Amino acid sequence: MRLSWHEYGCLIAASASSRSEDPHTKVGACILNREGRIISTGYNGLKSGISLPSWMKEENNRQKKRELMLHAESNALSLINKGDGETMCLTISPCFACAKDIVAHEIKKVFYIKQYDQCDKFKELFDYYGIYYKQINSDSIQKIKNHLISWIQ
């Protein structure tokens, strides 16, 4: 059961999310070039060298924490040149600000595992600029899970 390129990218994005220190939402990104090769990964978190303060772990501070976290998409895009990436795979669909960065970097396709519950405005932007986007289906998610299970058993 071989994973498709976008399933593979989503698996790598999920793996990248494990590096996030965000106690509430771990987000990962993976950028593939035209040949399907990984050219960048990223995860949400604070700037390197900054430790997570205890107040960010509290549920009632989630909104403020969300505003200060650097996003997985931005971190992944910061490591590539404009036009180098073909496909971005994400654990969660992008916020509107990240969607604009995706457009600016000339990414052509975006796949994501889950819909971001705070925003779906990215769809309007991607439709306008002709960027293909799709939430992966339950069959793809099951293929990814089965692949992981086969490795850890």
Residues belonging to the active site: 73
DSSP string, 67-96: HHSBPHHHHHHTTS-TT--SEEEEEEPPPH
Neighbours of 120 (CB within 10 A): 13
- The backbone torsions φ and ψ at residue 146, rounded to the nearest 5 degrees and listed phi first, read -60, -40
Report CA-CA distances (Å) from 43 to 15, 18, 127, 128, 143. 9, 8, 25, 27, 23
Cα torsion angle, 132, 31, 143, 116, sign:
negative
